[in-house]
Amino acid sequence: MIHHTHTKKELCQIIEVFDLQEHFEDHWEMDKEEIVDKLETYLRDCKHIPRDDLYFVIEDVEQLKEYLQKPNQYRISVKEKDEMINIAKDIIFYCKQGFLLSMTDFYDIDDLIEKAQKISFYGNTPSIARAIRLLNKDPKIKTPIQIIQSGKVKLEQRRKKEKELLKKGQYKANKGKYIVSFD
pLDDT at residue 108, as a whole number: 92
pLDDT of the chain along its 183 residues, tens only?
888 888 888 898 888 888 888 888 888 889 999 999 999 999 888 888 888 877 777 888 898 888 888 877 777 778 888 999 999 999 999 999 999 988 888 999 999 999 999 999 888 889 999 999 999 999 999 899 999 887 778 878 888 888 888 777 667 778 888 888 887
pLDDT at residue 127, as a whole number: 94
pLDDT at residue 70, as a whole number: 83
Q: Which residues are within 8 A (CB) of 1 and not within 5 positions of it... i.e. 6 or more apart?
A: 40, 43, 65, 68, 69
pLDDT at residue 169, as a whole number: 67
Distance CA 113, CA 127 (A): 17
How many CB atoms within 10 Å of residue 71?
A: 13
23: three-class secondary structure by DSSP: coil
Q: What is the pTM of this model?
A: 0.63
Q: Give which of 58, 81, 82, 83 is closest to 68, Cα–Cα.
A: 58
